[in-house]
Amino acid sequence: MNSLFTIRNLSVDVINDLLSSARVYKNLIESGLQVPEIPKHTVGLLFFENSTRTRVSFEQAANYLGYKCINFSGSGSSMKKGETLKDTILTLKHERLEAVVMRHEASGACNLAAKYFEGPVINAGDGRHEHPTQALADALTILDRKGKIKGLKVAIVGDVTNSRVARSNAWLLSKLGAEVRFVGPRTLVPGQSSTLPATVYHDLRSGLIDTDVVMALRLQRERMDNGVVSVSEFRRLYQVNRGSLRACAPDAIVMHPGPLNRGVEIDDLTADGPSSTINEQVTNGIYVRMAALAWAFENVPAKAGSLK
């Protein structure tokens, strides 16, 4: 069985297999066809941070696969009584869950959970570290719109420092041959950016020149120290809107992993316009999470290999 902690440590072959499987599931479901019978499993959804898109899409993915979901939140658990993460994971293991999907505020928490769970663990976002299934959903969306990833120029704009999505996307897109750019103020682009496969720009227009894909990120104020950034200043200098998009390629698409702060990192006309893929990213999240869950139990759709 397989665990999914990071994109950084996945091979290109595994990434392509996951995207191919997601495509199979997408084609089946959107054609109104039945997902082939596979062994049924019980999956725990452990969300220690708030989530709408990721939690619901994992639940929907499990439903399509015929898996049973057990929902679990930190606020309603014995961790509020002082129980450690280790003992919580051991409890769930001995309650016969077969896999765990986990979101946690601490980077590396999923790796710790896997040590004690001894079954598949899928990272649904850990601290500022990674969010691998979101990057897979974004890659599938780019493939839908552009037909390829190799050779594209992709700008990730905004709060890169606090974004696990930015890190997973940088690894995935660069592995598949895209040029990745981080664009934002010095306070919001990580000091260790040289270790990530992206070029840093602090001027928005320079960072957007000739880009094919622009991904806006929200300001994660819950992870910031007070006074790190002025919202009004950020809006003025880094908002993705019709004006800033003039620097991009004419057919550039606009992405956002959500949730949106409308009027801050992106304006309404852009978020709801024809170049926006935001709703497509949400839908594709279901299919890549189906692929991730099936892959965790080593169940791959029969035709996935032919779509690579």
Structure tokens belonging to residue 164: 């696990």
Helix (H, G, I), strand (E, B) or coil at 135: helix
Ranking 25-39, 73-87, 138-152, 243-257 by mean pLDDT, the lowest is 73-87
**Band of pLDDT at residue 220, cut at 50, 70 and 90:** confident
Question: 61 near 294, Cβ under 8 Å?
Answer: no
The predicted model gives 120-142 an average pLDDT of: 97
Output the pLDDT for position 306: 37
Q: Does residue 128 contact residue 149 with C-beta atoms inside 8 Å?
A: no
* pLDDT digits 0-9 by tens, 51-81: 999 999 999 999 999 999 999 876 655 565 5
Domains of the chain: 12-130+282-307 (3.40.50.1370), 132-277 (3.40.50.1370)
As a whole number, mean pLDDT of residues 180-203 equals 88
**What is the mean pLDDT of the segment spanning 126-141?**
97
CA distance 247 to 209: 5
Q: Say if residue 302's pLDDT is above 60.
A: no
Q: What integer is the mean pLDDT of 279-308?
A: 83
* Range 131-142 average pLDDT: 98
pLDDT score, position 307 = 35
The answer to whether 20 and 300 are in contact (CB under 8 A) is: no
Hey, which bits of the chain come out as E strands? 42-47, 68-73, 99-104, 121-126, 153-157, 179-183, 199-201, 213-216, 253-255
| Mean pLDDT of all residues belonging to the chain | 92
Q: Is 282 left (phi over 0), alpha (psi -120 to 50) or beta?
A: alpha
Q: Taking residues 241-267, what's their average pLDDT?
A: 97
| Mean local confidence (pLDDT), 147-153 | 98
Residue 227: pLDDT over 70: no
pLDDT in tens, 247-256: 999 999 999 9
Q: pLDDT tens-digit profile of 32-51? A: 998 988 899 999 999 999 89
DSSP string across 188-229: GS-TTGGGSS-EEESSHHHHHTT-SEEEE----GGGSPTTS-
Least confident of 74-88, 100-114, 226-240: 74-88
pLDDT band, very low/low/confident/very high, at 205 (cuts 50, 70, 90): very high
pLDDT computed for residue 192 by the predictor: 62
Asked if the model's pLDDT at residue 123 lies above 50, the reply is: yes
